[in-house]
Amino acid sequence: MSQSNRSVGRLRPQARSLAESLRQFLTPAVWKQAQATRPCGQTNQKRSPRWQTQPLVLVLLFMTWCCGDSQAECFETARATCSACLLKRRRPGKTLHGFQKALAKLPLRVLRRVAAGVRGRLAGLLDLDDDGFRVFGCDGSLLECPRSEELERRLGDRGNQHSAPGVWVTALVHLRTGVLWAWRLGKSTAAERVHLLHLLPTLPDRALIVADAGFNGYWLAQAILQAQASFLIRISGKDTLYADTAVDRTQWDDGLVYVWPRTAQAKRQPPLRLRLICVRAKKTHKDVWLLTNVTDSQRLPAATAARYYRWRWENEGLFRTYKRTLQKVKLASRTLRLVHREAEGSLLATQVLLAQGAQAMPRRKLASGPRRCSPRQVLLTIRRALHKAVASRRHPGFAQQLAKARREQRSRTSAKEKRAWPRRKPHEAPKPPTLLTLSDEQKSLLAKLESVAA
């Protein structure tokens, strides 16, 4: 075997623990940059607070990976694991309420700085190239939130009557590995195309964006071209294209067209000369029309474009992992600040989880094609490591823990029903009973019955 083949088939160093695996992506440089992002008033204190940046973010990640029926149960496991990983550091706070108060004060730019640092590590640890491109898929999904008064007022509804408040997330996924790359949060009525415009600066060189028909449009394509990226977007009957000569759509396979809407013509904007590819479906007879700015058919053959669009299903797989595997169909926080931080932290946890699985895949098999990890199996492996870290720590006796399991004793000062619930009939108190006076006949009958009973 040649030296080049041995280098391709060589395995990466294996992490011996969860802490070592996390340290490959959450490096000291990433923590230093995140700490520098916090305001000076939160870092330069005479006494070091319980919840500094590193334990706060780690507990947030561990709570996403933990298995529990409530946030309090997940917090106990996450806090114990964080204490085991940071043995030489001061232990974090003991209560979930204190953690939530510290998390609400944490600026969102700190979590985004950590995500940017992890994204930089992905470019160095994972093989992102595929035939000269770095293929990314883009899609969005809705995250439902609790029906708290603040969230209903701040987030609003989705246009449907009595609909629950929600947060819209648009995500970029590296399609070859299935790893979450970047994301953008907004209200439930946010536009995916606007989110993609904000995500363009996060793309690396030679990026190719693969998206469905919801990301079409002249202005979005122009913005992608200005960002020096490529795109492969499905188009539908709502799109109007121009050709130099009359063409028959039934005979079209591959060729150049113009995208030039009337609004661009009115503003004297030049047309976009793009390439239209038709992927004929053999079984379903539903052809797929793809539009790309890669006009060279040798650089992006039609068969490769069809394969990339089939990979776009990794976006749906990501949201299934996030919502079902990590149980984030509905967020648990009830205030706007905590909802944003829970969403950012859980998406960061999803990114790190998938990155660990992709980094552990053998490079030898990745060279021949995509070999993606199983998010469920990676999560089970992480949970086993969490339970092992918790079991290694000393805990008080069982009787002492039972003695603390007391019910809260307090007098009620508010109504049981705080506010009217949507689609629920208002509660009506029972009416008073009807009181009648005994008649003479009833009294005589009652006296006879009492005498017989005596």
pLDDT in tens, 185-212: 999 999 999 999 999 999 999 999 999 9
Residue 310 belongs to a domain: yes
Work out whether the CA dihedral 371, 374, 375, 377 comes out positive or negative: negative
Between 53-65 and 28-37, two packed helices, what is the crossing angle to 10 degrees? Answer: 110
Axis crossing angle, helix 218-226 with helix 192-199, rounded to the nearest 10 = 10
Q: How many structural domains is the chain composed of?
A: 1
Q: What is the pLDDT of residue 367?
A: 46
**What six digits make up the tokens of 195?**
């989110």
Report residue 378: phi and psi, to 5°: -65, -40
Q: What was the pLDDT predicted at 363? A: 66
Question: pLDDT value at position 42?
Answer: 55
Kindly report, residue by residue over 320-329, the tens digit of the pLDDT.
Answer: 999 999 999 9
Strand order across the beta sheet in which 254-259 lies? 179-187, 166-174, 134-144, 207-211, 230-234, 288-292, 272-279, 254-259
pLDDT of res. 395 = 64
Q: Are 279 and 306 within 8 A, CB to CB? A: yes
Q: What is the mean pLDDT of the chain?
A: 87
What does the block give as tokens for 53?
A: 């940046």
Alpha helices in 321-420 (DSSP H): 336-360, 363-366, 375-391, 398-403
Residue 70 tokens, joined: 């409530």
CA 221 – CA 453 distance, rounded (Å): 96
Evaluated on CA atoms 283, 284, 285, 291, the torsion sign reads negative
Secondary structure (H, E, C), 275-324: EEEEECCCCCCCCEEEEECCCCCCCCCHHHHHHHHHHCHHHHHHHHHHHH
Q: Let me know how long the chain is.
A: 454
- 423 within domain boundaries: no
Q: What's the CATH number where 233 sits?
A: 3.90.350.10
Residue 180 lies in a domain: yes
Residues lower than pLDDT 70 in the chain: 1-13, 40-48, 284, 363-369, 393-396, 416-417, 454
Gap between the terminal Cα atoms of the chain: 111
| Cα separation, 254 vs 267, whole angstroms | 30
Q: Is 286 exposed, middle or buried (0-12, 13-18, 19+ CB in 10 A)?
A: exposed
What range does the domain containing 145 cover?
Answer: 128-329
Judge whether 419 lies within some domain: no
Q: Is 244 helix (H, G, I), strand (E, B) or coil?
A: coil
What pLDDT does residue 407 have? 75
Beta bridge partners of 179: 174
* Residue 77 belongs to some domain of the structure: no
Burial class (CB in 10 A: 0-12, 13-18, 19+), 103: buried
Lookup result for tokens 């992006």: 300
DSSP 133: B
Residue 38 lies in a domain: no
Determine the Cα–Cα distance for residues 338 and 452; give it in Å rounded to an integer: 73
Cβ-based neighbour number of residue 44 at 10 Å: 8
Sequence-distant contacts of 64-71: CB under 8 A, at least 24 apart: 64/326, 64/328, 64/345, 64/346, 64/349, 64/350, 65/326, 65/349, 65/353, 65/379, 65/382, 65/383, 65/386, 66/383, 66/386, 67/383, 71/96, 71/332
| Backbone CA torsion sign across 265, 268, 269, 273 | positive
